[in-house]
Amino acid sequence: MDADLGNYRRSYEKNELLLKDTPENPMELFQKWFFEVDKFFPETETNAMTLSTIGLDGYPKGRVVLLKKYTYEGFIFFTNYNSEKGQAIVNNPNVCISFFWHGAERQVIIKGKAKKIADNLSDGYFESRPRGSQLGALVSNQSEIVASRDVLEKELAALEKEYEGKEIPRPDFWGGLIVEPIEMEFWQGRPNRLHDRIRYTLNSEYNWIKNRLSP
């Protein structure tokens, strides 16, 4: 197999990102970009982000997960704590999350540390999920080998019967993680590959320092 992709090119010309126009706190810029993408590019799953961890085997691994909440403190998503990514985070909480919004020709790259959120916050979100998603969390031993899909379907059917008319409890192995950022980079595509890159770095006094990076 030999696939030459050298001619895959496009010119990025939709917007600009100037240092003088950026706020002091990167979360404010993230919120502005998020709202703009969500409004003007409805076909985009705006909260889809790539989470990269260092696995127990020493290799980095990225996968797409869904952002469910963000605050000035960080970015929250939910997962099975016993999953491959969950165990990787226990072993090494240094992670990277990134958003690529191709319609807006923008990406945001965030380095930070991940940790569990409070149980009551995980309980609240779990209760808000559709029953099918709640039962799915109980059924799936995420990242473990399973004999067949039929096994999962049968376990789901059994749980549907068991919890018919009952409240479904959040399992202890499932809940939220927050990524607390120490660095956030905003990338805006520009013509001639002279892209705008603004990086915010958190210093030892917990102030954000911002700089323009060469593309």
Q: How far apart are CA 131 and CA 134, in angstroms?
A: 5
Amino acid at residue number 137: A
Q: How far apart are CA 33 and CA 141, in angstroms?
A: 35
- Joined tokens for residue 183: 């660095």
9 pLDDT band, cuts 50/70/90, is confident
pLDDT at residue 8 is higher than 90? no
Spatial neighbors of 42 by CB under 8 A, at least 6 apart, are none
Quick one: pLDDT at residue 91?
Answer: 98
Q: How far apart are CA 111 and CA 113, in angstroms?
A: 7
pLDDT at residue 143 is higher than 90? no
Chain mean position to CA 30: 13
Question: Domain residues for 48?
Answer: 19-129+172-213
Answer whether 114's CB lies under 8 Å from 95's CB: yes
Residue 139 domain-assigned (yes or no) = no
Amino acid at residue number 100: F
Residue 88 domain-assigned (yes or no) = yes
140 pLDDT band, cuts 50/70/90, is confident
pTM of the predicted model as reported, rounded to 2 decimal places:
0.93
pLDDT over 70 percentage in the chain: 100
pLDDT at residue 212 is higher than 80? yes
Q: Residue written as tokens 């010309």? A: 13
Buried b (16+ CB within 10 A) or exposed e, 189-201: bbeeeebbbbbbb
pLDDT in tens, 43-79: 999 999 999 999 999 999 999 999 999 999 999 999 9
Quick one: pLDDT at residue 145?
Answer: 81
Residue 122 domain-assigned (yes or no) = yes
How many C-beta neighbours within 10 Å does residue 137 have?
20
Quick one: pLDDT at residue 89?
Answer: 98
Residue 12 domain-assigned (yes or no) = no
Residue 163 domain-assigned (yes or no) = no
φ, ψ of residue 21 to 5 degrees: the values are -100, 5
Residue 159 domain-assigned (yes or no) = no
pLDDT at residue 104 is higher than 80? yes
117 pLDDT band, cuts 50/70/90, is very high
Residue 156 domain-assigned (yes or no) = no
Catalytic machinery residues = 193
Average of per-residue pLDDT across 80-91: 97
Least confident of 91-95, 138-142, 193-197: 138-142
Average of per-residue pLDDT across 136-153: 86
How many C-beta neighbours within 10 Å does residue 89 have?
23
Q: Residue written as tokens 């149980």? A: 119
CATH number at residue 53: 2.30.110.10
Domain count along the chain: 1
Residue 71 domain-assigned (yes or no) = yes
Answer whether 101's CB lies under 8 Å from 37's CB: yes
Quick one: pLDDT at residue 168?
Answer: 96
